[in-house]
Amino acid sequence: MICGVILAAGDSERMGSPKALLKHQDQTFLEAVCGKMRAAGLRDILVVLGRHERDIRRAWNRRGETVIVNPNPEEGQASSLKLALRHLPQWPFASAALVALVDMPYVGAATYRQLVGCWRQNVGRSVIPRYQGKRGHPIVLDQRLWPLCSLCPREEGLHWALKRGESSVFNLDVDDPAIHRDVDTPEEYHRESGQEGKWARGK
C-alpha cells in the first residue's frame, strides 16, 4: 500500500503567513495537495505541521487526514520527513510514501496518478518525476529507502539518501513543469497564481 505524506511544518518566514493556508483556486494549498493525493487513490494521508498548527487546523477542511507536529521545524525539512517515517509503521500495510511539499499545489493530479502507477509497476523502487531532464517533486519513497532517509543529515536532506540509494530509484518523465515550482515569497505566489492555467495541463 502507498500512503501520502505532506510536509507542511515550515515557518513560512519569507511568505509572512502559513503557506499551507494560501489560496489555490477555491482551496488552500494544503487542501489542494490532499485532494490530488486522494484523486490518485491514496486513502491514508499524513500531514506534518509545525508552529502554525493551530491556525492551520482552524482553517483547514480536513477529510480524515492524520496530523503530527514537528516540535523542531527549524531543523529543516529533513526533520519533518524523519518524523513522518517514524510514524508510518503504525500503518502496517504501508510499503511506500508519496511525499509532497505543501508549497507545490500546482503539480497536476495526473502527475500524482502517474507516480503511483509507476511505483505499482516497479515495487521496491522509489520514483522521482522528471521534466526536461530535471528532477522535481512529489517523490515516491519505497520502504526500502526509508532507513537511509532516517539518517540523512540536515544540510543535505533527502538528496543524501537518494544519492546513496540511486540504484533503486526510477526516474519518471512527466509533462508537468510544475514539479519544479514551489512558492516561498509573496512575489512568487502572485507570479505563480497568474500562471495557474499553464500548470493546469496535469489536472
Domain boundaries, the chain: 2-202
CA distance 161 to 190: 33
Kindly report the backbone phi and psi dihedral angles of residue 156, in degrees, each rounded to the nearest multiple of 5, phi listed first. Answer: -105, -25
CA distance 188 to 135: 20
Q: Which of 3-17, 52-66, 162-176, 184-198 has the lowest mean pLDDT?
A: 184-198
- Please name which of 52, 48, 57, 59 lies closest in space to residue 23, comparing C-alpha atoms: 59
- Confidence check: pLDDT of 72 > 70: yes
- Confidence check: pLDDT of 164 > 80: yes
Q: Report whether 40 contacts 115 (CB < 8 A).
A: yes
* pLDDT value at residue 16: 66
pLDDT tens per residue across span 57-68: 999 988 899 999
Q: Report whether 161 contacts 145 (CB < 8 A).
A: yes
Q: Residues 103-117: what's their mean pLDDT?
A: 97
Share of the chain above pLDDT 90, in %: 69
Q: Residues 106-121: what's their mean pLDDT?
A: 97
Q: Residues 96-124: what's their mean pLDDT?
A: 96
Q: Residues 10-34: what's their mean pLDDT?
A: 85
Q: Residues 108-129: what's their mean pLDDT?
A: 96
- Confidence check: pLDDT of 172 > 90: yes
Determine the angle formed by the axes of helices 109-121 and 29-39, rounding to 10 degrees.
Answer: 40
Element (H, E) at 142: strand 139-142
Q: Report whether 132 contacts 91 (CB < 8 A).
A: no
Helix (H, G, I), strand (E, B) or coil at 80: helix
**In which residue are the cell numbers 490518485 written?**
40
- Confidence check: pLDDT of 7 > 50: yes
Its CATH class, for the domain covering 2-202, is: alpha beta
* pLDDT value at residue 180: 95
